[in-house]
Amino acid sequence: MRNSIIRQSMTVEPANIADIPFIMSVERSPGYQALVGHYDADEHRRRLVAPNCTYLLCRVEGQPVGFAVIRRDDDGMGTAQLHRIAVSPPGTGYGTTFLQTICQWVFAEHDVERLWLDLLPSNVRARHVYNKLGFVEEGIMRSALRLADASRIDLVLMALLREQWSGGQAQGIQSDLPTTEAPVSAT
């Protein structure tokens, strides 16, 4: 019910340079820095124009509520990474609906067979959302993340395959995402 109401007012479209301050503010929402990475403006600008990255901005009733970064792997294997996703405020249902839209877009519009991500084992909210949408936990990436103090911690590897994705879940979401180009398709 909540999901279908949010769908009616949510739009997802490619972000642009002017959206970087909003993206940085979401990354720096209270409590988020322990859960999701953050870049400075120069790094975001560099990535936003990189040919293998797609920045998506999520709006609800016209107001920006979150962003995601999809990064195409360049090994020709038809895979892409959900490199970053964050919405603010959390726990309102926006993240689930946003991620459904992303999956719909990745699998319906682009030549991607596997959408993968990694996350901190302690990020139980994100883990719940990924599980709910069909992402499968594939294992632990040992010592995959280096912290500011140079210590290292494990990450959980999760992935969703095209064949597991039920595209019908996301029908009806208004999206202005391009359909003629394939910014996340593997080469």
Ligand X SMILES: CC(C)(COP(=O)(O)OP(=O)(O)OC[C@H]1O[C@@H](n2cnc3c(N)ncnc32)[C@H](O)[C@@H]1OP(=O)(O)O)[C@@H](O)C(=O)NCCC(=O)NCCS
Strand order through the sheet with 53-60: 136-146, 152-161, 114-119, 79-87, 63-72, 53-60, 10-14, 174-175
Contact 37, 71 (CB under 8 A): no
45-84: contacts with ligand X (CB under 6 A): none
Chain Cα centroid distance, residue 94? 12
Out of 35, 145, 153, 161, name the contact with ligand X by CB under 6 A. 35
Instruction: Tell me: does residue 183 bind ligand X (CB under 6 A).
Output: no
User: Shortest gap between Cβ of 180 and ligand X (angstroms)?
Assistant: 28
Q: Which stretch binds ligand X (CB under 6 A): 14-22, 52-60, 90-98, 159-167?
A: 90-98
Out of 28, 128, 146, 152, name the contact with ligand X by CB under 6 A. 128
Contact 27, 39 (CB under 8 A): yes
Out of 53, 64, 93, 110, name the contact with ligand X by CB under 6 A. 93
Instruction: Tell me: does residue 96 bind ligand X (CB under 6 A).
Output: yes
- What lies within 8 Å, CB to CB, of 60 at 6+ separation is 6, 9, 10, 94
Instruction: Tell me: does residue 22 bind ligand X (CB under 6 A).
Output: no
